[in-house]
Every structure is written in structure tokens, then in C-alpha cells.
Amino acid sequence: MQITSKFTVAIHTLLAIHTFGKEFKTTSEFIASSVNVNPVVIRRTLQSLKKAGLVEVKSGSGGAIITRDIKGITLYDIYVAMECLEGGLFHFHENPNPKCPVGKNIHSVLDVHLLNAQTAMEKELEKVTLADIVDHLNDLI
């Protein structure tokens, strides 16, 4: 599978902004300390989330805020914002042997099933909101 960690880093980032934003300036350095990554990773994450209209970032040390109601932000929205896939969810080996009956037909027998699996995953992500994740997190802390 090819989903990058950008997806979970983005969710973590949004949760940190939501959880700490009223008490602290949620700067890239602050968020990076929660995610345990370099602040540059968080700045790139925030850029993608901003481009998708999910956050606003104040220059300097102003921090970030979520711009939409968390009940209206789905995991799918975050997934799309972060461009988590390079191509499809499943990466096919490059050169199946066209002279082999299996190699020649591998795409015909697998493509539709792999696409269906990706579609099912994306539909599942559409069902879960950031508010759902916040509620679950609050149950744990």
C-alpha cells in the first residue's frame, strides 16, 4: 500500500490545533513537539491543509486555527488534502510478461477488485468526521 504518513500527521496536527488552540499558540514548533517530527514537516502539512481550506495559518508565531466546523471535516477531506496516494492505493509491478498467460491477463483479473477496495476505503473515510475523532480522543484523555 502506498498511503504515506502525511495522512496521519495531518490528523494529528488538526487534533493538536483543536485540543490546544484555545490555550496555546499552535505554531509548527508546538505541533511538531506533539507529533514528534521536525517543524518543517508540520509547516508542509499546514500548507496542504491551508490549500484545502481546512486551516488558517498566521505568519510568524501566530499559530494555526481550523477554519471549518470539525463536524464537517471528514477523514476523506484530510486524505484528499494531503494527496496521500501516488497513483492508486495499489501499485502494480511494472512489466508483467505479455507472453505469459498470467502476466498478459493480470490487469484484467485484478484491476477492478483493487479499484473496488480503494473505493471502499475512501467511502469509509467519508463516514468519519474530525469531530468523531475528537470525541474518541476526549474519551481517552
pLDDT at 71: 98
Distance CA 81, CA 32 (A): 19
CB 12 within 8 A of CB 64: no
pLDDT reading at 3 higher than 90:
no
pLDDT reading at 17 higher than 80:
yes
CA 80 to chain centroid, in Å, comes to 7
CB 114 within 8 A of CB 87: no
pLDDT at 109: 94
68 Cβ contact partners less than 8 Å away, ≥ 6 residues apart:
53, 54
- CATH level 3 topology of 6-140: Arc Repressor Mutant, subunit A (1.10.10)
Distance CA 20, CA 51 (A): 22
pLDDT reading at 1 higher than 60:
no
Distance CA 41, CA 61 (A): 16
Distance CA 39, CA 29 (A): 5
Q: pTM of the entire structure?
A: 0.86
Domain boundaries defined on the chain: 6-140
Residue that the C-alpha cell 483543536 belongs to: 18
pLDDT reading at 86 higher than 70:
no
